[in-house]
Structure 1
């Protein structure tokens, strides 16, 4: 009887696995076999003479839209393929946003926003009724089966997205109501569909294909440095900079880049004009940074200006327009801005704007000596709902043309994208912010931490990730700072201190010292619980442990061979272990261990 029960259990298990495998296979067959449909600007299906030509070549799909008729047609979008009622509504997923502040997880039935700022809610990017629009990359985790990865491997002209509901997934490409003339075609972005049990290997293949269209903008090592924003904000003074510069020189000279953040400019857009900050002489502060042996870094928001700026008053012809031909107020179609709002947007398709951007960054690079630019508010360079100087250009092209001009002017300087359209930045930035702004609170440590870890695969593959600053001063308990430090270390990306270092304790300074230089390799976690991750470095193997819950928790590390386990921050030995090692962490605590 027991034997029969065992066989029955095995049979049920095999049947269950076959069912799940069948769902995954049916998803792939359905997507590849579904019809592609083009839609006109008014939302109606395009005429029959508008042909969508799809060509699957293994894992990738080439898509073109051709007008075989005799009259032009304005096209809203193309649905490349769709899958309905194949995966259960309980299927977990992860998806990217159009701009860097949006990420989504949860299940198809109950999506969960990871951050505070969504494409549809905060940035007001339209989406179809009844669907959630996500962008660039969609990872599906069917129960009991391999992962499915759908992603757009290029972002040269059009925005690739996915529409999700509880029972349907659509792959779509936004054509922005562009006119397709008779006999002409639009070449759309390439879609990739992968299936496999090892998510890291899928992401390797995905990144390799992205490099085919957008070779990575190389920078040898992830930068390290110090940022003024999280200790002094827009009221930073020259003395604040000098005090921290002297401290860094004496205590931690490995923090190479000294970044002056938002606040030095008189108005948004007037980056070369003199404001009240630094006694009206930001150039002298930058010169002093260089004089003391460090690299000057500065914050710039190149695509925006406010109504009191010289740019707005003298060059309204440089700005993206609204339907009436007037400069587009960003709050009419999107988020208006966080200071000196509403913002207006420089039009990257305008040759005069391209010349302006190239000259601006050449001046800052050559005359001001800046070797690192933090570019913020880059989303506005790809704003929706506006009209460009080049009537045939998309918002992706507007952004990429502006960024190309910036790269020409900045020469060999490091370029960090922040609050940027994520995929349109491929091949145009050395570094990419991978989370919302940091703040000294557990809720932000937790939320931004998950954002960073979901994107850690991008580090060293597409660019260097910027997990935002490591902050180690304040009134929070040690365990929460330990969690934050361990998580930032696990990202393997850029490392900037965000503290007034003249006030840091010796114990926290030691953690900061041990965090530099970053490993340049993100920790590989076993699942999206992000509790146990491993990093292979030149010094050997390290393990990152993270306890996300408020109560103590035991975490176990499997060991390949007998080794001594040491606390990386303190160097304290935790004994010699064989087979596995278990450590109980306090609530909201984190550890970095070295296996020796």
Structure 2
């Protein structure tokens, strides 16, 4: 890595980061380059302060100093005015559902104005060169103090990137430092991403929690949704136990995913369908040999909830009008199985709200016996900065606020398993055991909540599995009815999820699915030990774009690429299985020469240079003897 003081610029891995400059509150201030050498640069700003960049090995640090009194910045960062020789960049979403995928600026230029989401990212990026291999990774080291943001601009010229730490107007004196960044080149894309994940793990305030056993079992949501009661749950529990015992497979969790509380926020109350509460079902699960689990959305408060009625001061208020912020509204026929029309954000900085949530998690864990917690919609606690929201306690960053909740949860549940969903991906490292890394799987192949979008996000976020948390690719659908997936799609999704090496759950009644589908689930569960898979083709396919629509009707950039995914995973015997998965709606053919290596190839039992003919949505698994 070379820092050229004349730019100043940094050359690394065939990519040039040029015209480096200070970025304060999202804009470049008036400045004069005061000093620059191979180890950094200093800019004198018009207000007399100094902006400093330091480069040491593979670390980049930024800071603002020499100012009088107190400063309340929105953000501090680095403007990379021109980035040369980038074929694609990784647009890394902030939380579970907002997508991570590669973007190809040369072909996306015509659609970026319609869908600016492809030009914004968080935490890190990977830059892939036009020529040469591997990736240049630029990513923040810590995520528990500030949110970080990347903005890519290529609509009308060369690619430029803004890299920012959001200070959220936290009052600081003497010096303001951005979160340090890792900057390095890796010879291959996914190993480079894993290297960044290892760096995040090493810099986290506490070590990652990586379960020694895969999180597996049954969850109610994708079959029963909110239509459940105690007899229905006990019936599914019996079926889950019969499946586990018949196939002798790891199948440990029995989780009730929503549907037992009357309103969001009333976490200690029950719907009429549960006159005895939920504890009897939890005890029944334990008696059957399962770890009982529950779903909660700790930042959500319904406007019809008893919690809001009794404590309206426990929700976050809008700075614009003082009314409760309502990030989710349901004004029409669909009310999410509740009475509430609006959903507010719990103000965890309020002592009363904090005490209440501590009581909730303590009760669930100690009194009800919950051993597995799925905490959902967690992003709501970090969505709003100080310009939009009024919190009870001021002068905290949005991530400092968010961390209060995740620390509270871990303190109250002890060593119980925790899955974060709809969550910031990197902030809970060390507190969560598992992380949803894509959208809900849904019941169709295409669309916003679909298998197609799930697969895209899984491949681009797979690198964190086993290093930061156990990844959750969402539930496997097994039932033969009540969805829009064909047999190839069902089988391929199950194999894909099983070979990711992380969480494997299903929601179906296991007495009502065929023996073939039960066997498919048993195969997907494996031996119970977690592992890491890899996607050796990640970032290789050229991307082409057209305009589609988001569910809200806004334009969406839709990328088309090579539909064939190649996935490698270890087997319990020490061999390697290669999963070749045609995700497209047309047949595909792939050559499978010896050893697979860096391309879509493998050695089959029938000999070398075999052709694989894949039907639409079909996947084939080839075992290599390593």
Fold equivalence (TM over 0.5): yes
Contact 1:438 1:469 survives alignment (8 Å): yes
Residues 348, 65 of structure 1: alpha-carbon distance in 2 compared, 3 angstrom cutoff: farther
- What residue in structure 2 maps to residue 11 of structure 1? none
SS at match of 2:589: strand
Residue 330 of structure 1 and its aligned partner are, at CA, apart by 2.3
Deviations 1:110-130 (A, max 9, x none): 559xxxxx9x87xxxxxxxxx
Structure-1 separation of matches of 2:372 and 2:328: 33
Q: Compare 333-342 and 209-218 and name the one that shifted more.
A: 333-342
Contact 1:318 1:347 survives alignment (8 Å): yes
Contact 2:17 2:84 survives alignment (8 Å): no
- What residue in structure 2 maps to residue 225 of structure 1? 217
Q: Compare 310-319 and 165-174 and name the one that shifted more.
A: 310-319
Deviations 1:66-95 (A, max 9, x none): 3x333433312112241415246xx22222
Matches within 5 A, 1:182-221: 183=174, 185-214=175-204, 215-221=207-213
RMSD after superposition? 3.0
Residue 155 of structure 1 and its aligned partner are, at CA, apart by 0.8
Residue 450 (1) aligns with residue 460 (2): no
Structure-1 separation of matches of 2:81 and 2:136: 13
Contact 2:213 2:529 survives alignment (8 Å): no
1:497 to 497, 502, 506: 506
Residue 588 (1) aligns with residue 589 (2): no
Structure 2: 5+ residue stretches without partners: 1-9, 32-44, 110-114, 539-561, 597-602
Per chain length, whose mean CA-contact separation is higher, i.e. which structure has more relative contact order (CA < 8 Å, sep 6+)? 2
SS at match of 1:231: helix
Residue 157 (1) aligns with residue 151 (2): no
SS at match of 2:585: coil
Q: Compare 301-310 and 460-469 and name the one that shifted more.
A: 301-310
Residue 459 of structure 1 and its aligned partner are, at CA, apart by 0.8
Structure 1: 5+ residue stretches without partners: 1-21, 113-117, 122-130, 562-573
Residue 243 of structure 1 and its aligned partner are, at CA, apart by 1.5
Residue 247 (1) aligns with residue 239 (2): yes
SS at match of 1:521: coil
Residues 143, 519 of structure 1: alpha-carbon distance in 2 compared, 3 angstrom cutoff: farther
Residue 281 (1) aligns with residue 292 (2): no
Contact 1:40 1:177 survives alignment (8 Å): no
Residues 187, 24 of structure 1: alpha-carbon distance in 2 compared, 3 angstrom cutoff: closer
- What residue in structure 2 maps to residue 60 of structure 1? 59
Structure-1 separation of matches of 2:145 and 2:592: 46
Contact 2:604 2:623 survives alignment (8 Å): no
Residue 57 of structure 1 and its aligned partner are, at CA, apart by 1.5
Residues 193, 408 of structure 1: alpha-carbon distance in 2 compared, 3 angstrom cutoff: same
Structure-1 separation of matches of 2:30 and 2:224: 53
Structure-1 separation of matches of 2:432 and 2:331: 23
Residues 280, 41 of structure 1: alpha-carbon distance in 2 compared, 3 angstrom cutoff: farther
SS at match of 2:24: strand
Residue 470 of structure 1 and its aligned partner are, at CA, apart by 0.6
Contact 2:331 2:341 survives alignment (8 Å): no
- What residue in structure 2 maps to residue 265 of structure 1? 261
Deviations 1:294-315 (A, max 9, x none): 1110100011111222221222
Residue 196 of structure 1 and its aligned partner are, at CA, apart by 2.5
SS at match of 2:317: coil
- What residue in structure 2 maps to residue 522 of structure 1? 532
Matches within 5 A, 1:405-416: 405-416=408-419
Structure-2 separation of matches of 1:346 and 1:594: 50
Residues 494, 560 of structure 1: alpha-carbon distance in 2 compared, 3 angstrom cutoff: same
Structure-1 separation of matches of 2:467 and 2:428: 14
Residue 359 (1) aligns with residue 359 (2): yes
- What residue in structure 1 maps to residue 583 of structure 2? 548
Structure-2 separation of matches of 1:55 and 1:351: 40
Structure-2 separation of matches of 1:50 and 1:40: 17
2:291 to 286, 291, 295: 295
SS at match of 1:420: coil
Structure-2 separation of matches of 1:296 and 1:377: 21
Residue 280 of structure 1 and its aligned partner are, at CA, apart by 5.3
Residues 40, 110 of structure 1: alpha-carbon distance in 2 compared, 3 angstrom cutoff: closer
Deviations 1:363-387 (A, max 9, x none): 1011100000000110111131212
Residue 399 (1) aligns with residue 363 (2): no
Contact 1:349 1:393 survives alignment (8 Å): no
Aligned length: 541
- What residue in structure 2 maps to residue 74 of structure 1? 72
- What residue in structure 2 maps to residue 86 of structure 1? 84
SS at match of 2:212: coil
1:35 to 21, 33, 36: 21
Structure-2 separation of matches of 1:111 and 1:419: 27
- What residue in structure 2 maps to residue 350 of structure 1? 350
- What residue in structure 2 maps to residue 474 of structure 1? 480
- What residue in structure 1 maps to residue 571 of structure 2? 537
Residues 257, 408 of structure 1: alpha-carbon distance in 2 compared, 3 angstrom cutoff: same
Residues 279, 355 of structure 1: alpha-carbon distance in 2 compared, 3 angstrom cutoff: closer
Residue 148 (1) aligns with residue 136 (2): yes
Deviations 1:392-434 (A, max 9, x none): 2011110111110110001111111101122222322111001
- What residue in structure 2 maps to residue 439 of structure 1? 442
TM-score where L is the length of structure 2: 0.80
Deviations 1:520-546 (A, max 9, x none): 223222213552222123322212110
SS at match of 2:241: helix
SS at match of 2:422: coil
Structure-2 separation of matches of 1:262 and 1:390: 30
- What residue in structure 2 maps to residue 368 of structure 1? 368
Structure-1 separation of matches of 2:28 and 2:299: 30
- What residue in structure 1 maps to residue 124 of structure 2? 137
Contact 1:361 1:406 survives alignment (8 Å): yes
- What residue in structure 1 maps to residue 549 of structure 2? none
Structure-1 separation of matches of 2:342 and 2:98: 22
